[in-house]
Structure 1
């Protein structure tokens, strides 16, 4: 559960341009041994065809499967400098928010280049991430090619969503314990993927990931509940719809629960438009949305 919780909580931020990338330490002249911190960063490196340079990843790096075979240096926000340095990296690429800051300071003093990639959860932000990663590893041409494919996917999804009838009301449930649900309000990665999928966030009145008040959730009348699956997370229909917050909602009456892999749904890497398309299809069961064109970097199914 900690992996998926980290994925979702790490993806709060406004879209940033390439200029926002922060370089700590010396300039990277050697990109042959990359430690990749952040699921989207890792996914971009592999999509660029640079997976062979990735020598270690963090716990949020779940895609592709080859990334999970790399040594794990821990959770992105609680990194140990000894653990990272033991890999012998020539470059560290980390999503904005990785740390703690003291670890980054140690890595800088060890003369290992650290490039912080701007974190964002919208179309512009995803394209900026691709550009920043590509520039950091000296592969701008590959970056432009990947960005063009992802931009085309975003455009196709925007067209699909614009043609959909209505905007179903849904709520994203991050976790549930003690009879209380933590939901995704405004300014979260969950809210952002809902917008891309043409879905109304029934909990937009709150900001951030916070516990839902039972009365507020029932008044919001969500037609569906969206949760993460995998990584030890167990939120099935029986669990969710037995919670007081959702027991009397339209979602509970129809038992409409949509479960998607957390790093796919909330990762906001190259596959973000595909996640939006799949979420839109799940929440508009009467619509027949076309599949997006297959890409070499998207054919593997998330586990």
Structure 2
């Protein structure tokens, strides 16, 4: 149940933030290097804390904190856009680590007014911002040295991928990210989104560059997009099925439908933009260009 609800929360957070995020808005916030009771809100923030070896200092997480799997054993404060101040403060935290895009705003106002240290982690949908996100988390919990190592490793992984993608001889694939299908209408990922960014990292072309954020596409826009591949998030019982997406009238004339080309990947891996993003982008590239990327 938690996984299904968490993914619904992740979808809502993606759509409502639209991928347009600021990096400098929270520069004045200070963490608590000695924190022993951390509430982590945001799957990527939690993932970074685990990667830094700070998991024993986490007392609660939100419902999008699905990686590593053991994070799900922590008390759950709800999904990141429907937080409860009472539920969070009831954990008696000494640090609130919250990804930008969480809410609702009145709850954040209460949390900021409390005496608990709070740091909001900016999450711009850009590859070059990932190392700084890692450093921000590390600084908030007094693990800057470990964070620098992890950030450097992530930077190196992204650089190696970029070099390999640059050597691709094949014509670039047009990839349409489908967040959901409702009443025959596709919700797609456009410019300034994590989906668009990772498609480009993997050597593809975002087939919906004329929209900003995650928005519905008209049938005409889908036809005009001419996607070679459909990309979606795998999400348990709610997996997007080829027969569902390719049966849509707008899809039937696309190259993707002709080849039944649908790629599904774990949502947090694909769109989390954290330490595993080099792995995620490389995996996607290998699916787009079999045999050309390892």
TM-score after normalising by structure 2: 0.92
- 242, 253, 258: which is aligned to 2:258? 253
- SS of the aligned residue for 1:285 comes to coil
Is 1:263 the counterpart of 2:242? The answer is no
Measure how far apart 1:219 and its partner are: 2.1
Where structure 2 has 5 or more consecutive residues not aligned to the other structure, the ranges are: 1-6
Report if aligned partners of 1:174, 1:182 keep a CA contact under 8 Å in 2. Answer: yes
Indicate how the Cα distance of structure 1 residues 180 and 276 shifts in structure 2: closer, same or farther if over 3 A, else same: same
Is 1:74 the counterpart of 2:114? The answer is no
Is 1:282 the counterpart of 2:280? The answer is no
Report if aligned partners of 2:233, 2:264 keep a CA contact under 8 Å in 1. Answer: yes
Where structure 1 has 5 or more consecutive residues not aligned to the other structure, the ranges are: 291-303
- SS of the aligned residue for 2:29 comes to strand
Deviation string 1:117-150 (CA, Å, 9 cap, x unpaired) is 1111222211111111111101111111111111
Deviation string 1:9-56 (CA, Å, 9 cap, x unpaired) is 357135736x844527xx626410110011111111011111111111
Which residue in the other structure is 2:138 paired with?
Answer: 134
Q: Map of 1:182-221 to 2, 5 A cutoff?
A: 182-221=187-226
RMSD (Å), alpha carbons: 1.8
Which residue in the other structure is 2:166 paired with?
Answer: 162
- SS of the aligned residue for 2:238 comes to coil
Which residue in the other structure is 1:95 paired with?
Answer: 99
TM-score after normalising by structure 1: 0.89
Name the CA distance, whole Å, in 2 between partners of 1:97 and 1:15.
10
Deviation string 1:46-101 (CA, Å, 9 cap, x unpaired) is 11111111111111111111111111111112210011011111101001121222
Deviation string 1:252-285 (CA, Å, 9 cap, x unpaired) is 0100000001111001011111111111111112
